[in-house]
Structure 1
Amino acid sequence: MKEVTNIQELDQFLQENPEAILFKHSTTCPISTQAHDEFMKYADSGAAKPWAMVIVQTARPVSNEIAERFGIKHESPQVLYVKNGTVAWHTSHWNITQDNLSKNAV
């Protein structure tokens, strides 16, 4: 797992991985805890694209940059599937499931 803590790390991660998943996670939200569990099932399945996590409490500027850069309203938890510099798919909250990720982050 790669945790992105600043905008430079975000830029580097996306440059190195033109197809990647960004997972915005809140460490204080029970919905985000459930989404994290589902996301980790997906990540551990072996089907996952390169991915990085943004902890919104400690990396708010990164979370805000992602929302601004891609034009996707911030939510937490939130998953964005980035392909060649644009968001190909995104979802949030209870829709973050292993099944949804496996079907849509392809």
Structure 2
Amino acid sequence: MKEMHSTQDVDDALRQDTAILFKHSTRCPISAAARGQMERFLERQPDAPVYTVDVHDAARASAYLSEKTGVEHHSPQVIVTRGGQPEWHANHFDVRAEELERRVGGG
């Protein structure tokens, strides 16, 4: 997972053909469960373009990501973009490795 700390990092991620953007909090047990799902996904898809942002430590980048994608902020949250546009997203306990694999063509 590549960490995003700035608005420039968000812009760089959104320039990718496909990006999997994971917003989370290190202070939240639901986020910890979602991070486990993301790690499980990456075990199966190690080359997947996953970017992560901590909603507290990089609050501006997190808010900017919501602005740029038009996806209402939640944490934890995963947003799949293609060509910089949101294609699918999931929040809280809906962040699941199997569904993410299905959405990005890996499962």
Q: Which amino acid is the alignment partner of residue 66 of structure 2? A: A
What is the TM-score with the length of structure 2 in the denominator?
0.91
Q: Which amino acid is the alignment partner of residue 42 of structure 2? A: A
* 5+ long unaligned stretches in structure 1: none
* 8 Å CA contact 1:22, 1:53 repeated in 2: yes
User: Is residue 99 of structure 2 the alignment partner of residue 100 of structure 1?
Assistant: yes
Which digits, 9 at most, give the CA deviation of each residue in 1:9-58, with x for residues without a partner? Answer: 1212322x221100001101100000000111001212663110001111
Deviation at 1:100?
Answer: 1.2
Which 4+ runs in 1 deviate beyond 6 A? Answer: none
CA RMSD of aligned residues (A): 1.3
Match of 2:43 in 1: 44
* 8 Å CA contact 1:25, 1:56 repeated in 2: yes
Equivalent pairs counted in the alignment come to 105
* 5+ long unaligned stretches in structure 2: none
Identity of aligned residues (%): 34
Separation in structure 2 between the aligned mates of residue 58 and residue 78 of structure 1, nearest angstrom: 16
* 8 Å CA contact 1:38, 1:97 repeated in 2: yes
* 8 Å CA contact 1:22, 1:51 repeated in 2: yes
Deviation at 1:105?
Answer: 2.7
Which digits, 9 at most, give the CA deviation of each residue in 1:40-78, with x for residues without a partner? Answer: 100121266311000111111111111111111100000
